[in-house]
Amino acid sequence: MNTLEVKNLTVSIEGEVILKDFSLTVPKGEVHALMGPNGTGKSTLAKVMAGHEDYEVESGEILLEGQSILGKEADKISHAGLFLAFQYPLEIPGVSIANFIRAARSARLPEGKEINAVEFYKELYEKMDALKIERKFTARSLNEGFSGGEKKRCEILQMSMLDPKLCVMDETDSGLDIDALKVVSDGVNLMRSPERSFLVITHYQRLLDYIVPDVVHVMYDGRIVKSGDAELAKELESKGYDWIKDECATTTTT
Amino acid sequence: MSDTDLQNKAIQVDTEKGNFKYPENYEFDAGVGLTEDTVNYISDVKEDADWVREFRLKALEIFRKKPMPTNWADKDLENIDFDKIRYYLSKGQMPARSWDDVPDDVKETFERLGIPEQERKFLAGVEAQFDSEASYSHMNEDLEKEGVIFCGSTEGLNKYPEIFRKYFGKVIPTSDNKFSALNSAVFSGGSFIYVPKGVKLKQPLQAYFRINAENFGQFERTLIIADEGAEITYMEGCTAPKFETTTLHSAVVELVALKGAKIQYITVQNWSSNVFNLVTKRGMADEGAEVKWIDCNIGSRLTMKYPGVILKGKGARGEVLSIALANDGQHQDTGAKMMHLADNTTSNIIAKSISIGKGRSTYRGQVHMPKHLKNCKNNTECDALLINTDSRTDTYPAITTRGEHNTVQHEASVSKVSAEQIFYMMQRGLSEAAAMSLSVNGFVNDLMKAFPMEYSVELKRLIDMEMEGSVG
């Protein structure tokens, strides 16, 4: 069973084509890394999968555990099991982390069902401890005045509290120092299970030293141009993306 | 979703809870339009003392002379047709002391609004006004024994003139504005409260104002006197059914806090979108006294309301905490006035407004500190939140401070709920309406903490309802 299947996806924004006949399959329980130079369409893919309405999908399919999620509203896609850890998490003034996660959990319950507050806080505190987030953060406004590292840890906290089937992590490593990177990676590794899949979008190989992927894809100009195992990431790190660009240029000309 | 999409969603005001009415069946009806006869009819029915009748007739003259304040206020005021309004409707003069004695249709109305239940839960006394007069009025017997008076305006003026006449119309003179003059001519209902020296009410007194009749004007008059060292919290709620025609609500509320007394006045109004809500509210604080207005304005077509405090005695404190929510087609024109008239007086104004769709909110503030005073302080914060891009907000702060021994602080901000914030929250599984609700609640969150629990719950529910209706 595949958790994610993206088939021949072509997406544009304001007339510019960003994803070009893009395809990707992530089987259940696997961690895939999506790498590539800036402006190649990685974040666009993440947002389109999550149901952002600014993009125009010209053709293609996105299936989550076999069900089409393309064109659904963002909240419905979330309920279907996709979580997107944002590259730039937004600040929501006056809404505490605890209340926000509680509201997100409640939104998944059938009508009339309520969250058990005691169990909720027990679980929340355990997960905060694991991510080395201080207790006082529960009462702070979501992401407001947080440092880059605090925002990313808070994204992973939400991700673990919402128990998604597919975790899409968009440049989670950007803005993190090495200690924060380790904490975030530990949090992610704890969530790895045969039931859950990950799509880790990153520009640098660094994160993949801690979250070791099963498959690495290299994206360039709106499509995947190379796939391999974890070694591919290391090769990229030493050779740089120009190597891929050159290789692409050669393949297109031949 | 883009801002444009958000902006274009149809917006409907949801006044579900208040949107019902019962057939009209009144014993007393002053008819349509406003003349001396109307005023005399009201005075006759109420068996007003001569001075009260004269007070009313003089007010009518002032009302006629004063122009509509459309040179600065919303031009929509011109759409009020005073000749088509009914100024007095009642089923009887004396309110029942027990819910069992309240006429069935009126009782059902208040039961649907949850008033008897709230009374049992957390109130020291309740007055429930149906159109022009209170249908029910009851207070704990213990408070009665302590000498607390809680009655309607007619009973207050007829039965206790020695207590109320001294301050009636003094905090807000008839000629203060066109609508205070109108109220002074045709007032009926409202609460007259006296709390004797040193008596501190632990639980709030509540009044609920309900408009049931179409083309009707409700003109309640409230006067609360807290004698030296006394303390009282008063809460009011208001609703009306959704009519095609306009309805007018024009109250005058005067608060008198004598030396060392504390008055807290809380309003949560949820008017339907046909109501012109033009209310004058002002308190006077003597030496060391405190007057605090907590004002939540939801609904109505146009609300104009600027609660004020006259800081008359040394060390007096005044506070206005206000939340206004302007939905599509509504204009919340609210604010605060602080008149510092003695040394060491302090005032605090925190105003938060939310504009949804084409809703418009305006903040008007006036802080007055004359030159000869020392150690006066004012803090003003006004924050506006815009939900869609064509929402509108204006701020008109007028702070007059003279002299070098006083301090004022003013902060204003405008923020917007962006489409990206909504997307972020929806990605976590919240519906669009829930996401908007949560951001609005977040915006008013720190202010809500100042409210009594029961009211913040009610307010949160009202905000959720407004948001529910604001997305397509």
Tokens 């003034």 locate to A93
B269 closest CA partner among B291, B290, B251, B244: B251
User: Do residues B248 and B276 make contact, with C-beta atoms less than 8 angstroms apart?
Assistant: yes
* Identity of the amino acid at A164: P
A51/B424 Cβ within 8 A: no
How far is CA B68 from its chain centroid? 21
Instruction: Name which of A74, A79, A83 is nearest B423 (Cβ-Cβ).
Output: A74
Asked if B275 and B250 count as a contact pair (C-beta separation under 8 A), the reply is no
| Cβ–Cβ under 8 Å, residues B442 and A94 | yes
Q: What is the enclosing helix (H) or strand (E) of B13?
A: none
What per-residue confidence (pLDDT) applies to B309? 98
Show the low-confidence residues of chain B (pLDDT under 70).
1-19, 21-24, 93, 389, 403, 469-472
- What percentage of chain A's residues is helix, strand, coil (to nearest 5)? 40, 30, 30
Residue A7 within any structural domain of the chain: yes
Q: CB neighbours of A55 closer than 8 A, spacing ≥ 6?
A: A11, A12, A13, A18, A44, A47, A48
Dihedral (CA of A58, A63, A67, A72) sign: negative
Give the tokens for residue B79: 């759409």
Cα A109 from Cα A130, distance rounded (Å): 26
Domain of residue A231, residue span: 2-91+164-253
β-pairing, B290-299 vs B317-326, is parallel
Confidence (pLDDT) at B22: 67
For the domain that residue A190 is a member of, what is the CATH number? 3.40.50.300
| pLDDT the model gives residue A32 | 97
d(CA A173, CA A151): 11
CA atoms within 13 A on the CB side of B389: 9
| Interface residue ranges in chain B relative to chain A, Cβ cutoff 8 Å | 1-2, 5, 415, 418, 420-421, 423-432, 434, 438-439, 441-446
Match 């105003």 to its residue by tokens. Answer: B351
Number of cross-chain residue pairs from A and B with Cβ atoms under 8 Å apart: 82
Residue A252 has pLDDT above 60, yes or no: no
Are the CB atoms for B196 and B147 separated by under 8 Å? yes
| Residue A229 burial (CB count, 10 A) | 12
Cβ atoms of A143 and A89 within 8 Å: the answer is yes
Average of pLDDT values for A96-119?
92
A123 within domain boundaries: no
Tell me the chain A residues in contact with residue B441 when contact means C-beta distances shorter than 8 Å. Answer: 94-95
Evaluate whether B199 touches B230 at the Cβ level (below 8 Å): yes
Spatial separation of the C-alpha atoms in residues B449 and B440, rounded to whole Å: 14
What is the reported pLDDT for A111? Answer: 83
Residues in B touching A64 (Cβ below 8 Å): none
| A191/A29 Cα distance (integer angstroms) | 10
Name the residue in chain A with its Cα closest to that of B432.
Answer: A75
Does A52 sit within 8 Å of B442, measured CB to CB?
Answer: no
Domain count for chain A, please give it. Answer: 1
β-partners of residue B85 are: none
B154 neighbors B223 (Cβ within 8 angstroms): no
Burial class of residue A74 in the structure, from the number of CB atoms within 10 Å of its CB (0-12 exposed, 13-18 middle, 19+ buried): buried
- Within a domain: residue A146? no
Residue B324's SS3 state is strand
What number of CA atoms fall less than 13 Å from residue B63's CA on the CB side?
Answer: 20
The DSSP call for residue B306 is -
pLDDT at residue number B316: 98
Q: Which of B266, B270, B332 is nearest to B299 (CA)?
A: B270
Cα dihedral across residues B389, B472, A94, B394: positive or negative: positive
Q: Which two tokens stand for residue A184?
A: 């975030």
Among A51, A92, A104, the residue with its CB nearest the CB of B421 is A92
Q: Cβ B438–A73 below 8 Å, yes or no?
A: no
Phi, psi of A242 (to 5 degrees): -60, -35
- The single-letter DSSP state of residue A90 is P
Please, what is the Cα angle at B140 between B268 and B167, to 5 degrees?
Answer: 65
In sequence order, which residues have a C-beta less than 8 Å from that of residue B241 and are 6 or more positions away?
A: B18, B19, B20, B21, B211, B212, B272
List the single residue in A73, A92, A95 with the smallest CB-CB distance to B426. Answer: A73
* Residue in A74, A91, A94 nearest the CB of B445: A94
Residues of chain A in contact with residue B428, where contact means CB-CB under 8 angstroms, are 78, 100-101, 104, 107, 158, 162
CB contacts of A86 in chain B (<8 Å) are: 424, 427
Which of B423, B445, B459 is the best substitution to test chain A (most A C-beta atoms within 10 A)?
B423
Helix (H, G, I), strand (E, B) or coil at A68: strand
Nearest-CA neighbor of B283 among B332, B343, B345, B333? Answer: B345
What is the C-alpha to C-alpha distance for residues B257 and B291, in angstroms, rounded to an integer? 7
Here the tokens at position B341 are 């008239």
C-alpha distance from residue B14 to each of B17, B18, B128 (Å): 8, 9, 23
Helix/strand/coil for B200: strand
Count of CB atoms within 10 A of residue B67's CB?
A: 7
Contacts of A4 (CB under 8 A, 6+ apart): A24, A25, A26, A49, A62, A63, A64, A166, A197, A199
Q: What is the DSSP string of B421-442?
A: HHHHHHHTT--HHHHHHHHHHH
Determine, yes or no, domain membership for A203.
Answer: yes
Amino acid (one-letter) located at B220: E
Q: CA-based diameter of chain B, in Å? A: 68
User: Parallel, antiparallel, or unpaired: how do β-strands B346-355 and B317-326 relate?
Assistant: parallel
Domain boundaries, chain B: 3-470
The DSSP 8-state label assigned to residue B67 in this structure reads P
Give residue-wise pLDDT tens across range A120-168. Answer: 999 999 999 999 899 988 889 999 999 988 999 999 999 999 999 999 9
Task: Write the DSSP string, B357-419.
Answer: TT-EEEEEEEEEE-TT--S-EEEEEEEEEESSTT-EEEEEEEEEE-SSS-EEEEEEEEEE--H
Cβ partners under 8 Å of residue B276, min gap 6? B77, B80, B246, B247, B248, B249, B250, B300, B301, B302
Q: Which residues of A touch B413 (CB under 8 A)?
A: none
3 state SS of B316: coil
Asked if A100 lies within 8 A of B426 by C-beta distance, the reply is no
Exposed (0-12), middle (13-18) or buried (19+): which is B239, by Cβ within 10 Å?
Answer: buried
From the list A92, A105, A108, the residue facing B442 with the nearest CB is A92
In a domain, A99, yes or no: no
Q: Which residues of B touch A92 (CB under 8 A)?
A: 421, 424-425, 438-439, 442
Residue B223 confidence (pLDDT): 97
Q: From the CA of A164, how many Å to the nearest CA of chain B?
A: 10
B434 neighbourhood in chain A, CB within 8 Å: 103, 107
Q: How far apart are the CA of B150 and the nearest CA of chain A, in angstroms?
A: 39
pLDDT of residue B450: 76
Q: List the structure tokens of A167.
A: 């975790």
Cα(B410)–Cα(B86) distance, integer angstroms: 43
Which chain B residues touch A101 with a CB distance below 8 Å? Answer: 428
Mutate to test the interface with A, among B7, B421, B426, B464 (most CBs of A within 10 A): B426
The shortest CB-CB distance from A103 to any of B427, B438, B443 is to B438
**pTM: predicted TM-score of the whole model, two decimal places:** 0.82
> Do A75 and B429 count as a contact with CB atoms less than 8 A apart?
yes
- Mark yes or no for CB contact B424/A162 under 8 Å: no
Shortest distance between the Cα of A92 and any Cα of chain B, in A, equals: 7
Judge: B442–A53 Cβ closer than 8 Å, yes or no: no
Q: CA nearest A79 in B: which residue?
A: B429
Distance between B448 CA and the closest CA of chain A, angstroms: 11
Whether A75 and B424 lie within 8 Å, measured CB to CB: no
Residues of B in Cβ contact (< 8 Å) with A79: 429
pLDDT above 90 coverage of chain B, percent: 54
Going across the sheet that includes A67-68, the strands are A16-27, A2-13, A56-64, A67-68
Could you give the CA distance from residue B132 to residue B113 in angstroms, rounded to a whole number?
18
